[in-house]
Structure 1
Amino acid sequence: MSLSLNRTCVKHCPQEKKLISTVKPPINCSRSRCNVLLNNDFYNYLACNDSCLESELASNGSCVSFCPKGYYYLNDTCLSTCPSYAPFLQPTILTYQTWERDWNVYRVQTYNLTSLTCVGSCSKPYTIYDFQTNTCTVQCTDTRPFILEVNFTLTCVQQCPLSENVKVHGKTEIRLGEELKTVNSIHCASYCPNDTFYFNGSCLMACPSEANHIFDGKCVRCAKFTQMIGKLAYCVNDCPQTMFENGNVCVETCPKGNAYIINRRCSICPEEAPFQLPVILGDDKCVKSCEEDNKLADFSCENCEDAVNAKCIYSFKCNKTVMINYDGKFLKYCPNGYLFFRTGCIWKTTSLIISLVSFILALTIVIYSIKVIQEYIVFVYSCFWIPVSTA
């Protein structure tokens, strides 16, 4: 191999200039356009130097455009092992330019290559440290999917510790060179941060369909009412005074077709004729009382205690095993001041009188029974008693 040393050909480089670099024509680029050389103007030879050219990296006594496989970049040098002061490996995008032949001319080509760089700590966008691969990364692997902060360093772990067993799901957009990438992450935490909601041990940015309402920062199915705040659905025990109940949803304005309001509840019918009377042919009618059509008011619907959205039905359509027929209505429960007794609702005072009469009757029967038993014992005794002779 012939080498150039001070414009002289040598076989070996001396110790003071032991680095072998490739000498090519300089590259001049302006406004994204680089110079072009004819074949006769291009040159390429190896030279002995004490340092590599500006666009080269030192690797095993030679100057190269990029580090070979198994070597890592640090301070314009390719290393097989990172030093103790920079022990972590972090991907770095390196740009280099080279001459390439294009028919009878040489043109400049630009390449972007990702190389592993030795660093003292992980930095953006590669902020997560994977201790098993000793690499800074943007996303943990499936075998160690969770991110745990240890001594101010984000690390990939297989399981979250019990002290930080709440899993915070996040989504971040990061730029890798010219590429914009969306990265999903799961952090270990002791509580859910703001703008996330707890569900099955995880903190989510949005609640799933099976529990798409929010109550006390948790994803749930609402037991009472749903109130929309922005695009989020929250569970509340009562609708605010400025809103109305439309079924189990709090609304600011009752919707069309349910536009009447009875006691802050949206109703199909107005307050003066609150009951719905189904019509076989045509639209349902609103009536003052279901008794007008010899029917009963069905109060089995939710939130219809005040005749809101209650329909008129025939008595045989009512489920008598769970409903109570009272005063022309089928109710879930007896009204205030009444108790369920046998097949219907009775006034609480009436139930007290019935209980008292029942007690007195039972006591009378017991006393009468005791007296009858005593008389029966005397009768039996008199039948078998034999007088004693007085001879």
Structure 2
Amino acid sequence: MSHTPHHKTNAMELERFVYFFICLSISFMVSKAESDVKCQPTEVLVKERVGYEEWQYECKRVCPSHQYVYRQKCYDNCPTYTSAKENGFIKYCVSDLENFNCPKSICQKEYPFCFDGNCIDTCPDYTIGYNNSCVLKCPLEARYMMAHSCEGICYTGRKTCFQRCPSSHPQVFRSSFLYHCLKECPYFTVTNGSRCELSCPSDSPFLFNNTCHPTCPSSVPFASLNMSAFNKIFVCSERCDVMMASYKNVCVSICPSRSPFGYHGKCVKKCGRDSPYVNTSPSWKSTIYYQQCVAECPRDKFLWMKTRQCVTNCPRNTLFFNKTCVSACPRNFPLNYTKENQGRIEHECVRRCPEKTYHFKDHCFDRCPTYLKYYLSNCTTECPTLQPYIISDNNTCARSCPMKYVYNGNICDKKCPKDKFYIENKICEKTCSDISALQQKTKKGIICLNSTSCPNDTVLFEGTNHCIEKCPKTMLIVNNICRNVTSCPSSTYTENSTRGEICTKKCSKTLYVDDHLCVKICPKTKVLVGQNCSKDCPSSKPYRYLNNTDYENAVNVCVSVCPYDYVIYQKKCIQFYECDNYVYQGHCYDVCPPPSVPNPEISESCVVDSSLSLYTGLALMCLCLLCIFGFLLGCICCYRGEVKCFRKSSQRDSEYSCNLIEEELQTG
């Protein structure tokens, strides 16, 4: 007991070592994958997913927009002891100990810029050149940045920090992070000397040619709100954008309520003759709709003439005809076809009722309303005299009620109502006309039987006039009457039926007689003789034979001769292999009878089958040895990769052993 903790500690240490070794191997493989990729000093290492658990490393000019760069690698978050910064080009991580400035003249003319300890010909895209160093942000003493390789507000290519903007790029535009030196101010800014302003004063709010105006000039009369990455400002233009309309020379996406309709690029109170209808469609602003004047409604809409608007569905109490919502159908299309479309009731004007619909007055229906009846291809309030009855299930007029229905007035019902639950001649009545007549209770109602006997599928309950479908278990059926007796009369048999236990003079053809019962199969202790179950076989058929043709209902039958391959043992037919001792002339003996014993069944001396048993035992032993040998040979073949060898040799050996046993049996 005292050594157990020591062993447990050793096991834990071993487990920790294995875990550490696996982690070390994984980290080595990951670092190996990173180290396989060598990036240029102007590039960053980007980690990208290529599979569920697979990554690849690739050199790029900048990191993805959501990541930070630190020491030429991209991270989702800045490492510990670093702080996140931004310079307009990229997000980056810096520490207090790092300094991107290099000593002057450390690099030669061919590679003049110094960055991260390397001399390079151009700075990385996310840095700016200053005093032969690549810095992340221009210093205060040289805060103006100029891009050499592109025009305007650039964030790519070669860039340089200056104490003041050079004469080639005299205009200064201040963004969130930088002072940009530009050749001219952007179109969405105001030129104010050497500065590019982002807004106009309130008394001159409209911008044109980098100058603020109180109103737009006549050559560019329309003002639209321009949104850039830096500001929102009204800019004058010759015309409004296609998706906009003008209201008092201002371009708007939604017309105001005073002039709500867009007509030829203008907001108007009323549409013109060439586009007289109004189509309402969702705008780029949620819950606000844009109303536009159109010459005709779109394909998926209808024109409502009353308001001259395009609608998705016609209003209630209106009909649609020729893609138009109308209050009444025209004369040449007079019928109102009422139909259900995706849960909504629609009304369409048609010339005649479509196929498989029903006509009623000036209406067509897919299904007749509940207050109407079906008659041929029409709906009707009352059934005609030729078909006066109404089938309750489907409201259809009929000449007479079908077989499964009863007459309840002029209705064909599946069962009679409670106040008229008696059925006489298929008609629902309050009582039977003959109270003493036989009655049968059914799901439809109580049938009045004009007969002296019950139907074949029922029996008469003793002491009543009721014909019932099944007699209770405590009673017996005698002469088609359910009686309260415990046993059948003499010379009759008890047979089970769907109506109950019945007393019969003769069992059914498919049943056997066992004493006073009719049974499907004789008990195991008895044998079948003809149609009867007997304790013993008669002398004419003295042998018992188990007939198992019906596997579930095997039965012992009496036979005069046992079937082929069977022998007789104690007056039973058993199969040859079931005899454990001696066989002689179709009989199985425990001991061979002596030749001198007179026996009419034995005409010659008994041949002792011990040799046969000996040879059979030897043959079986050889077969077992061959099987073991084949198994070992198969294992060797599998070990050597020779599976085919095992299959062939095992089959050949088994065939040989069978032939050998057969020869031994024949020669023995």
TM over 0.5: no
RCO comparison, higher one (Cα < 8 Å, 6+): 1
TM-score range, shorter chain: 0.3 to 0.5
Q: If each structure's strand is expressed as a fraction of its own residues, which one has the higher value?
A: 1
TM-score (norm 1): 0.39
Tell me which structure has the larger Cα radius of gyration: 2
